[in-house]
């Protein structure tokens, strides 16, 4: 085949209406697919942005310390030395005064500190629980050598 005949055949094939319809349909399907993917990505981003405040709120809500008056205390945690091992009924709490509390720990140096109703029991025979800073612990480790 001559070059001129090849060009004419090629132009007839490419210029046909059937090919242009096929190209148009293929282009429209490709564009529709691209638009669907873009829309799905956009919806996904908006969902993530909408869920971030909810996740933050749930993290704060569940990590918040419970109120001291609403927290149940098990008998094993509240048992002091010299107190009988009998457990009280669930939900029943016996209120004792200062003298009864001090009598539970007779023989140990302790103190009640604070306003009435908001007092803390301090055991004086234990060292205070003070967290060390990094600089103090480094100085101590250097001086120990």
Residues in a beta bridge with 111: 122
Query: In terms of Cα–Cα distance, which of 119, 90, 84 is closest to 104?
Result: 84
Q: Are 104 and 83 in contact (CB under 8 A)?
A: yes
User: pLDDT tens digits for the chain (145 residues)?
Assistant: 677 887 777 777 666 666 677 778 888 899 999 999 999 999 999 999 999 999 999 988 888 766 565 555 554 455 555 555 555 556 688 888 888 888 888 888 888 888 887 888 888 887 766 655 555 544 444 444 4
Say whether pTM exceeds 0.85: no
């Amino acid at each position: 085949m001559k070059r001129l005949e090849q060009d004419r055949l090629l132009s007839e094939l490419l210029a046909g209406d059937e090919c242009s319809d096929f190209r148009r349909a293929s282009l429209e399907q490709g564009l529709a697919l691209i638009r669907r993917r873009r829309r799905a990505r956009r919806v996904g981003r908006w969902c993530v942005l909408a869920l971030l405040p909810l996740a933050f709120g749930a993290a704060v809500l569940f990590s918040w310390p419970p109120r001291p008056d609403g927290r149940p205390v098990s008998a094993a945690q509240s048992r002091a030395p010299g107190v009988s091992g009998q457990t009280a009924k669930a939900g029943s709490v016996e209120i004792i005064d200062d003298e009864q509390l001090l009598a539970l720990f007779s023989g140990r140096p302790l103190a009640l500190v604070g306003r009435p109703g908001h007092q803390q029991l301090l055991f004086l025979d234990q060292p205070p629980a003070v967290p060390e800073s990094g600089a103090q612990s480094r100085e101590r480790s250097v001086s120990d050598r």
